[in-house]
Amino acid sequence: MSAEEECNCPPCKPGLPAWLATFGDLMSLLMCFFVLLLSFSEMDVLRFKQLAGSMREAFGVQAQIKVEDIPKGTSIIAQEFSPGRPEPTPLNEVRQMTTAVELHTLDVRSQEGEAVVQDREAANDQQQQQEEQARQDAIQFSMALASEIGEGAVEVETEGTKVIIRLREQGSFAQGSAFVEDDYIPILAKIRDLLISIPGTVAIEGHTDSVPFSNNTFPSNWHLSAARALAVADELFADRRVNENRFTVAGYASARPRVPNDSEANRARNRRVEIILERGQDELGMPIRATSPEDLNGQSISPADIF
């Protein structure tokens, strides 16, 4: 281009070109897009360990070094001195678990913290094992009471480490009575035979609906619920093999309803006696170990679940 043509060239506009703003926006959007892709991606554990191992060898973190003596310094006043006794701290000991070649990570932990974590994990494992054992116990009750469960006279349910055998009022007690019906005694005998063979504490609880009740024998629902629970306990205690120290008997009237007392069907469900087997501990309060872990809170057991 000649000098004359350069003189005729129109002057350039001051500032950056207009297209640069669009280009910058596009680059920012692309960077955000790839950052999101990276955040959604999964980490390759094997490659991460290999990378950590390479960094370990590069920085020289290889083995645990035992210090025989504390560091000492020198000064003008004294040739050597020892520091004062330190106050206790939560971290009593810090270790770098890198003595094994196959380990590619640094494990920094304290003795107290490690003990707490181990105790918590052991407690969780034991809790899960006890819940699994409770489910196995509930299956035994369901197999023995399959016909009664099908008729609706008995319900079997697990709640954590507890097995709940729920006796409905229909068939077990007459209205306003605390005497166990003769036809219901064989059902209690089946339950008693299983309770003898399964360890744990047993609570017998009586419940009523919210309708006030009183007669010459029972002045209130509290008396009726407690009398029904005691009547069931007496039938279970009829066999001398039963250890009565495992049992507690209580009446709750309408204080613990299963469902709201807003219909006759719901009130019938609330009139019940519950036999609660606590698998977590025996009659001496000692923990009972089980078999394998599985979370089973609040599961009902029916004969169909067995097969």
What is the C-alpha to C-alpha distance for residues 34 and 36, in angstroms, rounded to an integer?
5
The pTM assigned to this predicted structure is: 0.54
Q: Taking the chain, what is the end-to-end CA distance rounded to the nearest angstrom? A: 95
Tell me if residue 159 falls in helix, strand or coil.
strand
Choosing among 3.40.50.1100, 3.40.190.10, 3.20.20.70, 3.30.1330.60, the CATH entry for 119-306 is 3.30.1330.60
Query: For the chain, which residues make up each domain, given as ranges?
Result: 119-306
Closest CA to 279 of 131, 73, 125: 131
State residue 92's pLDDT score: 46
What is the C-alpha to C-alpha distance for residues 234 and 195, in angstroms, rounded to an integer?
14
How far out from the chain centre does Cα 120 lie?
A: 11
Query: Per-residue pLDDT for the chain (307 aa), expressed as one digit of tens each?
Result: 555 556 677 777 777 788 888 998 999 999 998 888 877 776 666 666 776 666 666 665 555 555 555 555 544 444 444 555 555 554 444 444 445 555 455 454 555 666 666 777 777 878 888 888 888 888 888 888 888 888 888 999 988 888 999 998 888 888 888 899 888 999 999 999 999 988 889 999 999 999 888 888 899 999 999 999 999 999 999 988 999 999 999 999 999 999 999 999 999 899 999 999 987 655 444 544 433 333 334 444 444 444 3
201-207 and 272-278 beta bridge pairing: antiparallel
State residue 150's pLDDT score: 86
Closest CA to 103 of 58, 52, 66: 52
